[in-house]
Amino acid sequence: MNEAPREQWGSRLGFILAAVGSAVGLGNMWRFPYFAAENGGAAFVFLYIFMVALVGIPIMLAEFAIGRGAKKSPIQALAHFGGRRWKPLGVLFVAGGFLILSYYAVIAGWTLRYLWNALITGFAGDPAAFFGQVSTGGDAVAWHLLFMVITITIVAGGIRGGIERSAIILMPLLFLIVLGLAVFASTLDGAGAGYAFYLTTDFREIFSLDVLSEATSQAFFSLSLGMGAMLTYSSYLSRDDNMPREAVIIAGSDFLIAFLAGLMVFPLIFALGLSEQLSGSTIGALFIGLPNAFAEMGAVGRPVGVLFFFALFVGALTSAISLLEVVVAAIIDTVRWPRRKAALIMGVLITLAGIPSAFDITVLGVVDQIAGNLFLVFGALCLAIFVGWVMPDPIAELRRGGERVAWLPLWYGFIRYVVPPLLLLVLYFTVRATFEMIVGLFGG
């Protein structure tokens, strides 16, 4: 029925950078450093690497096997290998992308707003009061809207002309900025205290199932797994990519940036910022502690602030693009709208859905817990079962690249027998945390 040939990435590098662009985002710069600092420091970092290797890379390969194998968007791809009864999972993926983007774009709007301030006025006055003023209400909606306009424009431009092109320009730039700022931060007086706050090891913390399950859902969020984003991106590949190698490169780059983000953020805050803000909220440190640090820094504060918020914005943008692409690809495949129409209409609906989050940070937190944690763990569990037990011969699909990858049989055994029970356990803890959060809201 669909006569237009399916879009494809222009190059292997383009695909990798777009996938890294999806992975690297606010999750790296904002969630990861704080989880690490609060949950055992360097010990958490090792636990995280372990979980990325144990479940992150296997689930990424599962998504690649389905996406590249079917060359379809999530709903159709699941039906392709598993029959109609798997369509609801695809619908859940699309709903997840929709919901995650709705609040993600609100936070991304703040990054744009702060970038604007860094460029035009600098940061003066009371940073906490400023954050309170711009993070909710009309201001937040305005910047959220602007951010969505940029995202929609790029997705409307298509795989090669929009998504790939922006990733090829933006991702190397992002990496250089984060690296440069981390090196700069190491020269500051507070660097030692910042590193200590970030990495001081506490092994007791990591031997808790709560921390284990947080590390797992953080790995899914950071690697964009569990809702079909990597599945969708891999559906635009030609057959000859070596998927296991790409998965390791993508996961490794994502970890590297998350780790560097911690090395950048904490020394800056401990040198000049309001380190008391750290315990209060994780968002607070980025949007309150750092602007304060930039204001205190004198002449260098302005360029450093501009670079920092530019990097945050770029990370958020390339991630938001992938979230919108999941929804748009599904609409193109099912309703058969042209790409531009799908991007515009779905983008507008997602923007509207984000307005409650822009008015109330509690709503933002709840949607994050449900769509950004719970859905992903559940989605990843279903993906493991699907690829391990339903899809015919996923190993053959992953071997199409030609190279023999010795560990693929190991991967398959893992995805069948180890990942599902592990994720069931994580799911239990995630459901419990979600429940507690909701009860806490009503119980006061």
Q: What are the residues binding ligand TRP (CB under 6 A)?
A: 22-23, 25-28, 100, 221-222, 224, 227, 229, 319, 322-323, 376
Residue 124: CB minimum distance to ligand TRP, A: 29
Cβ proximity to ligand TRP: between 405 and 433 the closer is 433
Residue 173: CB minimum distance to ligand TRP, A: 17
Cβ proximity to ligand TRP: between 78 and 323 the closer is 323
Residue 23: CB minimum distance to ligand TRP, A: 5
Cβ proximity to ligand TRP: between 342 and 380 the closer is 380
Task: Give the whole-angstrom CA distance, residue 376 versus residue 224.
Answer: 9
| Residues written for the chain | 444
Query: How far, CA to CA in Å, does 281 sit from each of 230, 284, 285, 395?
Result: 30, 5, 7, 44
333 and 80 Cβ atoms separated by less than 8 Å: no
Task: Give the whole-angstrom CA distance, residue 213 versus residue 121.
Answer: 42
Residue 375: CB minimum distance to ligand TRP, A: 9
- Structure tokens given for 6: 């399916």
Cβ proximity to ligand TRP: between 250 and 304 the closer is 250
Q: Tell me the residue type at 151.
A: T
Cβ proximity to ligand TRP: between 274 and 311 the closer is 311
Residue 109: CB minimum distance to ligand TRP, A: 14
Cβ proximity to ligand TRP: between 22 and 135 the closer is 22
Tell me how crowded residue 157 is: count the other CB atoms within 10 A of its CB: 18
Task: Give the whole-angstrom CA distance, residue 188 versus residue 194.
Answer: 10
Cβ proximity to ligand TRP: between 213 and 322 the closer is 322
Task: Give the whole-angstrom CA distance, residue 315 versus residue 301.
Answer: 21
- Structure tokens given for 336: 């058969």
Residue 376: CB minimum distance to ligand TRP, A: 6
Residue 97: CB minimum distance to ligand TRP, A: 7
Residue 257: CB minimum distance to ligand TRP, A: 9
Cβ proximity to ligand TRP: between 235 and 275 the closer is 235
Q: What is the dihedral of CA 374, 358, 354, 294, to 10 degrees?
A: -80
Cβ proximity to ligand TRP: between 105 and 191 the closer is 105
318 and 171 Cβ atoms separated by less than 8 Å: yes
Residue 383: CB minimum distance to ligand TRP, A: 12
Task: Give the whole-angstrom CA distance, residue 310 versus residue 304.
Answer: 10
Where would I find the H helices in 8-162? Answer: 12-23, 26, 32-38, 42-51, 57-70, 74-82, 87-120, 127-135, 138-156
Residue 96: CB minimum distance to ligand TRP, A: 7
DSSP-assigned letters across all residues of 136-189: SSHHHHHHHHHHHHHHHHHHHT-IIIIIIHHHHHHHHHHHHHHHHHHHHHHTST
Residue 217: CB minimum distance to ligand TRP, A: 10
- Structure tokens given for 42: 């360097």
Cβ proximity to ligand TRP: between 28 and 277 the closer is 28
Query: How far, CA to CA in Å, does 34 sit from each of 27, 114, 124, 280, 378?
Result: 10, 20, 25, 11, 24
Task: Give the whole-angstrom CA distance, residue 419 versus residue 381.
Answer: 8
Cβ proximity to ligand TRP: between 261 and 290 the closer is 261
